[in-house]
Amino acid sequence: MSRDTSPNDWPRHGGQPGDMLARLGLPTGQPIRDFSANLNPLGPPAWLDARLPTLWQGIDRYPDPSYRAARQAIAEAEGLDIGQVLLTNGGAEAIFLAAALHAGRRAVIVQPTFAEYARACRHYGLAINELFLASDFSLDERRAGEAMREANVMFLCRPNNPSGTLVPRTQVARLLEAGRAHGTCLVVDEAFIDFVDEPAESLVSLLAEHPHLVVLRSLTKLYAIPGLRLGYLLGSPETIARAAERQMPWSVNAPAAALVAPLLADGDFVTRTHAWLRQELERLTPTLTHLGFDVSPTRVNFYLLRDRYQPQATDALLRFLASAGILARHTHNFPGLDGRWLRLAVRSVDDNDRLLAALAAWRQEHGAGMP
Ligand SMILES: Cc1ncc(COP(=O)(O)O)c(C=O)c1O
């Protein structure tokens, strides 16, 4: 493998501009607009600045080990019992706990997707099968059913990182029936579901009938608080009890736990997020297509992009954008993409305009209609 295509040679996650610029051999001090992390550019909510200092007052005490108040707020927001909710240190801890529940068994991971499912499975000694999405990023239900028969647990990211595509709820409901028939659990990571302005797509109502469903959520993406670390795991009371046994004590710090209720109560922030995202996607997608780029049919705040005429030139495009002050996320460590696409966040109007200008410059320099 050449230096440019070895997955281990690239930063494992987005949002690491220094590492990425160094990897590209570009000066690390230059100002850069970071499109490589998929956080909400409207966040964190403005009221958080004033609230944080008051939260420090409780740091001379341990947090409530059962996080009752935070879990109650989540249960009320989701219409569940408190016993169906486990508070976690970001969605990342929820992923590792979901894998821990099946330690030593066999998982199937729907690829290309977030690398941490595979890492969590390896950590807990799960053997890994891979099931690949179709080229339009849809899930072939027949193949998914077959894959479930051969595994104890399936990991599905919905909406999917990195494509932004959403396996419809109706399809998940049929997968759950297949899972019931084969005794296979389904872990659905919904870290980005709050960006989808369609409450009917929520899987929460399926939890009552399907004790083998586990839903993972993150608060860090929507509210742009990855430094605070907040997420949760939803499942049957039995699953939650088993996951809680495997969780480190006091895994979530007290200031973060105290923010769960006010964050979930900020409906206005979510409404503004949906309005911004709708407007920017409606503006960006046709323009990108018109400029000669393929774009994944995303439902959320990031998408995959490649040059329709020169799909083999993705690393050159990454470097070109970085030289223009725009950092995209490589896809070298997404099996099935292997660097052939770039992932870009939907950012502010101003940032998106800069991106469009840089892509128009690329098109001018590299032309269209080449093989
Ligand atoms: C699909 C997905 N799930 C979970 C996470 C972890 O998020 P958190 O910051 O809540 O740990 C990420 C982070 O990028 C992600 O992309």
Q: Which of 88, 93, 114, 158 to mutate to test the pocket of ligand 1 (most atoms within 8 A of CB)?
A: 114
Query: 310 lies in a domain?
Result: yes
Domain encompassing residue 61: 57-266
Predicted confidence at residue 3, as pLDDT, reads 41
- Note whether 166 and 306 are same-domain residues: no
Q: Which of 5, 1, 69, 58 is nearest to 316 (CA)?
A: 5
Q: Confirm whether 51 is domain-assigned.
A: no
What pLDDT, on the 0 to 100 scale, is given for residue 4? 47
Rounded to the nearest angstrom, the distance between the alpha carbon of 152 and the centre of ligand 1 is 23
Q: How far is the CA of 226 from the centre of ligand 1 (A)?
A: 9
Residue 36 CB less than 6 A away from ligand 1: no
Residue where a domain stops, chosen among 266, 292, 307 = 266
Tell me the CATH number at 122: 3.40.640.10
Q: Of 75, 70, 58, nearest to 255 (Cα)? A: 58
Over 80: is that where the pLDDT of 317 sits?
yes
Residue pair 220/55 in contact (Cβ under 8 Å)? The answer is no
Whether residues 62 and 188 share a domain: the answer is: yes
Question: Buried b / exposed e across 140-174, counting CB within 10 Å, b at 16+?
Answer: eeeebbebbeebbbbbbbbbbbbbbbbbeeebbee
For residues 8 and 116, state if they share a domain. no
Q: Report CA(191)–ligand 1 centroid distance (Å).
A: 6
Nearest atom in ligand 1 to 14's CA: 14
Among residues 221, 243, 266, the one where a domain terminates is 266
Q: Same domain, yes or no, for 158 and 286? A: no
* Higher-pLDDT residue of 130, 1: 130
On whether both 34 and 158 belong to a single domain, the answer is no
In a shared domain, residues 273 and 286: yes
DSSP H or E segment with residue 245: helix 237-246
Same domain (yes/no): 253, 308: no
CA atoms within a 13 Å half-sphere pointing along the CA-CB vector of 322:
26
- Overall average pLDDT of the 65-92 stretch: 98
159 lines ligand 1 (CB under 6 A): no
Task: Let me know if residue 50 belongs to a domain.
Answer: no
User: Into how many domains does the chain fold?
Assistant: 2
One domain, residues 240 and 301: no
Does residue 371 sit within a domain? no
Residue 44 falls inside a structural domain: no
Structure tokens at 139: 């899930």
Say whether pLDDT at 58 is over 90: no
In a domain, 245, yes or no: yes
CB contact at 8 A, 362 and 320:
yes
- The residue written with tokens 């219409």 in the block is 79
CA of 144 to the centre of ligand 1 (A): 23
Residue 162 near ligand 1, beta carbon < 6 Å: no
By mean pLDDT, which of 26-30, 220-224, 300-304 is the weakest?
Answer: 26-30
Is the same domain home to 247 and 296? Answer: no
pLDDT exceeds cutoff 50 at 352: yes
pLDDT band at 2 (very low <50, low <70, confident <90, very high): very low
**Phi then psi dihedrals of residue 16, to 5 deg:** -125, 70
* 95-147 pLDDT, tens digit each: 999 999 999 999 999 999 999 999 999 999 999 999 999 999 999 999 999 99
Task: Count Cβ atoms within 10 A of the Cβ of residue 312 and give its class: 0-12 exposed, 13-18 middle, 19 or more buried.
Answer: exposed
pLDDT at 369: 62
- Indicate whether 358 belongs to any domain: yes
Our answer on whether the CB atom of 301 is closer than 6 Å to any ligand 1 atom is: no
- Tell me, what's the pLDDT at 256? 97
What share of the chain in percent tops pLDDT 70? 97
State which of 216, 234, 266 marks the end of a domain: 266
Q: Is residue 273 part of a domain?
A: yes
Domain shared by 31 and 111, yes or no: no
Q: How far is the CA of 192 from the centre of ligand 1 (A)?
A: 8
User: Stretch 218-232: mean pLDDT, rounded?
Assistant: 97
Ligand 1 contacts CB of residue 14 (under 6 A): no
**Any ligand 1 atom below 6 A from CB of 233:** no
Q: What is the mean pLDDT of the chain?
A: 94
In this predicted structure, which of 6-10, 181-185, 237-241 has the lowest mean pLDDT? 6-10
Domain match, 141 and 222 both? yes
CATH number for the domain spanning 349: value is 3.90.1150.10
Please report the pLDDT score of residue 5 as a whole number: 56
Per-residue pLDDT band at 44 (split at 50, 70, 90): very high
84 and 187: one domain?
A: yes
